[in-house]
């Protein structure tokens, strides 16, 4: 297991970065945020089909690239660096992980469509859900095989063709696939209502299902939804790489600015109060890189979830929780320093710093807060809480 980047990973990074430099400049992202179509469907199509990022986590026999969490992590670093408004995390990570855990023919067929970039999916679970306490399903499966219920705070729903919905059964739970625009159905509807979101580049939405026709992908006997827990945990581990990308952009942009900006007849970056803050931030980011790489490597080593509590599962949980507990806060700190050290310009709508601040702050809450992840470490670290 290496914490460095392999050559293949660097090539993938370069391809994604080139495309984003061309098609996803900060001003382009800023121009889109209030346009009514917050997600960039064209950019996503190119990323998914031409670079093939949609199928990274999908095994080859299902039509995917058969790559691993390590490659997905590198893509997320670049997407974070550009605050790119594409549903990679929503579809190619969260929904894909849920489907991989569900297994079976129907899920496999859907994974093939996602990998080929023919369809985009979203997991109809609040983005703020913690993998350590996944919410109970907000929707129910009727006897007629349709889904009814409302889920708030979902990412990627506006651009999804298929929604993966955890549902209650009379006994147990199930994961269902619901087409976003049900064709020729008898009155069933799916309504996606965008919410005014803190994060302008990855907004949330409320999804309401009313007797929407559904396909059952997997069922579980108890109250738990293992597909959701696994997707949230693995998604949290990979989100650390996006947070790393955000933090790196913020540091690089801030360093470049304070080297140029002059006050008191010298660059403001020559003042020690500024230098020391940036040195501390650099150190936090060096730690974030190591922790995010470690989480990706551990996830790649154990692509299929083992039984909870076995050694590999514990190693994955520790790596994910450490990465999230650290990287979530580092991205926010980097974005806050970016705003502060830009002075007035950092406070403007015109400068892209706020896009990063909003993404970083939303990411800190997403898939469990740093506090949730720290608490999850008490067991594995053998640091028991007070009785």
Partner 1 sequence: MTWDEASVAERAAAFLAAHDPVAMDRLEFLRARFDAGLAWVHFPEGLGGLGAPRELQAVADRELRGTPDNQPGRIGIGLGMAAPTILAFGTDEQKRRFLRPLWTGEEVWCQLFSEPGAGSDLATLATRAVREGDEWVLDGQKVWTSSAHTARWGLLLARTDPGVPKHRGLTYFVCDMRAPGVEVRPLRQITGEAEFNEVFLTGVRLPGALRLGETGDGWRVAQATLMNERVAIGGMPVRRTMMEVVADTWRSRPELRTHDLHQRLLRLWVESEVMRLTAARLREQLAAGHPGPEGSGMKLAFARLHQELSGLEVELLREDGLGYDDWTFRRPETVDFLGREAGYRYLRAKGNSIEGGTSEILRNIIAERVLGLPAEPRADKDVAWKDLPR
Q: Between 120 and 324, whose beta carbon lies closer to partner 1?
A: 324
Smallest gap, in angstroms, from Cβ of residue 348 to partner 1?
24
What is the secondary structure of 338-363 as a DSSP string?
HHHHTGGGGGSSSSTHHHHHHHHHHH
Q: Which residues bind partner 1 (CB under 8 A)?
A: 2-4, 255, 258-259, 266-267, 269-270, 272, 274-276, 278-280, 282-283, 286-291, 293-294, 318, 322, 325-326, 371, 374-375, 377-378, 381-387
Q: Between 191 and 259, whose beta carbon lies closer to partner 1?
A: 259
Distance (Å, rounded) from C-alpha 16 to C-alpha 39?
17
Q: Which of 53, 70, 77 is nearest to 2 (CA)?
A: 70
Smallest gap, in angstroms, from Cβ of residue 322 to partner 1?
5
Smallest gap, in angstroms, from Cβ of residue 318 to partner 1?
8
CA separation, residue 39 to residues 83, 298, 382 (Å): 11, 30, 43
Q: Between 129 and 292, whose beta carbon lies closer to partner 1?
A: 292
Smallest gap, in angstroms, from Cβ of residue 56 to partner 1?
23
Six token digits for residue 139? 């929707």
Q: Between 192 and 314, whose beta carbon lies closer to partner 1?
A: 314
Q: Between 220 and 278, whose beta carbon lies closer to partner 1?
A: 278
Q: Between 171 and 266, whose beta carbon lies closer to partner 1?
A: 266
Residue whose tokens read 């640091």: 383
Six token digits for residue 354? 């706020």
Smallest gap, in angstroms, from Cβ of residue 143 to partner 1?
46
Q: Between 13 and 49, whose beta carbon lies closer to partner 1?
A: 13
Smallest gap, in angstroms, from Cβ of residue 315 to partner 1?
12
SS3 80: helix
Residues 6+ apart with CB under 8 A from 224: 134, 173
CA separation, residue 135 to residues 71, 99, 126, 275 (Å): 29, 18, 8, 44
Smallest gap, in angstroms, from Cβ of residue 234 to partner 1?
19
Distance (Å, rounded) from C-alpha 327 to C-alpha 77?
12
Distance (Å, rounded) from C-alpha 52 to C-alpha 12?
10
Distance (Å, rounded) from C-alpha 381 to C-alpha 291?
16
Six token digits for residue 119? 């369809």
């Amino acid at each position: 297991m290496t914490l460095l980047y392999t050559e293949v990973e660097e090539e993938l990074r370069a391809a994604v970065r080139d495309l984003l430099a061309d098609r996803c400049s900060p001003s382009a992202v800023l121009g889109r945020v209030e346009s009514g179509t917050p997600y960039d469907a064209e950019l996503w199509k190119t990323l998914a089909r031409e670079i093939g990022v949609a199928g990274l986590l999908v095994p080859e026999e299902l039509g995917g690239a058969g790559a691993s969490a390590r490659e997905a992590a590198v893509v997320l670093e670049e997407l974070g660096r550009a605050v790119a408004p594409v549903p990679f995390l929503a579809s190619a990570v969260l929904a894909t992980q849920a489907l991989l855990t569900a297994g079976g023919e129907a899920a496999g067929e859907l994974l093939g469509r996602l990998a080929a970039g023919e369809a985009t999916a979203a997991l109809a679970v609040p983005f703020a859900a913690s993998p350590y306490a996944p919410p109970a399903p907000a929707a129910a499966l009727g006897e007629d095989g349709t889904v009814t219920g409302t889920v708030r705070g979902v990412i990627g729903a506006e651009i999804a063709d298929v929604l993966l919905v955890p549902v209650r059964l009379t006994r147990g739970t199930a994961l269902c696939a619901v087409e976003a625009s049900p064709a020729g159905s008898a009155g069933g509807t799916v309504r996606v209502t965008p919410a005014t979101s803190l994060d302008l580049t990855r907004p949330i939405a409320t999804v309401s299902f009313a007797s929407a026709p559904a396909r059952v992908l997997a069922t579980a006997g108890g109250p738990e939804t293992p597909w959701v827990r696994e997707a949230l945990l693995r998604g949290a581990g990979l989100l650390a790489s996006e947070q790393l990308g955000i933090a790196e952009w913020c540091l690089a942009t801030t360093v470049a600015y304070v080297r140029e900006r002059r006050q008191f007849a010298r660059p403001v970056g020559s003042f020690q109060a500024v230098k020391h803050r940036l040195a501390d931030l650099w150190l936090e980011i060096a730690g974030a890189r190591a922790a995010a790489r470690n989480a990706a490597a551990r996830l790649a080593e154990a692509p299929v979830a083992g039984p909870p509590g076995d050694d590999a599962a514990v190693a994955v949980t520790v790596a994910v929780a450490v990465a999230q507990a650290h990287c979530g806060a580092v991205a926010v700190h980097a974005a806050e320093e970016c705003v502060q050290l830009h002075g007035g310009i950092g406070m403007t709508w015109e400068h892209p710093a706020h896009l990063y601040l909003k993404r970083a702050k939303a990411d800190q809450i997403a898939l469990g807060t740093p506090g949730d992840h720290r608490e999850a470490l008490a067991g594995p670290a053998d640091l028991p809480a007070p009785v």
